[in-house]
Amino acid sequence: MNIRLQNIESDFKGFSDLIAVCERIKSCGPDDELVVIFPQWFDANMCVVLGAILHFSSKKKDQISFEWINPETKKIMQKNSFLFFLGFDNSIMLDLNGTTIEYKQFSQGDYRSFSEYVERNFRGHGLPEMSEALLKEFRKSIFEIFENAVTHSETEYIFACGQYFPYKKRLDFSIADLGIGFYRNVTSKTKLDLSPVQAIEWAMGEEKTTKSGPIPGGLGLKLIREFVTLNRGKMQIASDSGFWELSEGSVKTNTFSSKFPGTVVNIEINTADSRSYCLEEEIEAEDIF
By CB under 8 A, is residue 136 in contact with another protein?
yes
Binding of another protein by 280 (CB under 8 A): no
Shorter beta-carbon distance to another protein: residue 73 or 141: 141
Task: Evaluate whether 81 touches 92 at the Cβ level (below 8 Å).
Answer: yes
Closer residue to another protein, CB minimum distance, 82 or 227: 227
Which residues are CB-neighbours of 82 under 8 A, at least 6 positions away? 44, 47, 51, 103, 161
CA distance 164 to 99: 5
With CA atoms as reference, report the closest residue to 45 among 162, 171, 159, 139: 162
Residues 209-228 that bind another protein (CB under 8 A): 214-220, 223
**In contact, 263 and 173? CB cutoff 8 Å:** no
Q: Does 96 bind another protein (CB under 8 A)?
A: no
Does 147 help bind another protein (rule: CB under 8 A)? yes
Asked if residue 146 binds another protein (CB under 8 A), the reply is yes
Q: What angle do CA 192, 200, 180 make, to 5 degrees?
A: 80
111 lies in the binding site for another protein (CB under 8 A): yes
* Cβ 227 to another protein shortest distance, Å: 10
Among 143, 247, 253, 259, binds another protein (CB under 8 A): 143
What is the rounded CA–CA span in Å between residue 48 and residue 53? 8
Task: Point out which residues bind another protein (CB under 8 A).
Answer: 109, 111, 115, 118, 133, 136-137, 139-140, 143-144, 146-148, 150-151, 207, 214-220, 223, 276-279, 282-286, 288-289
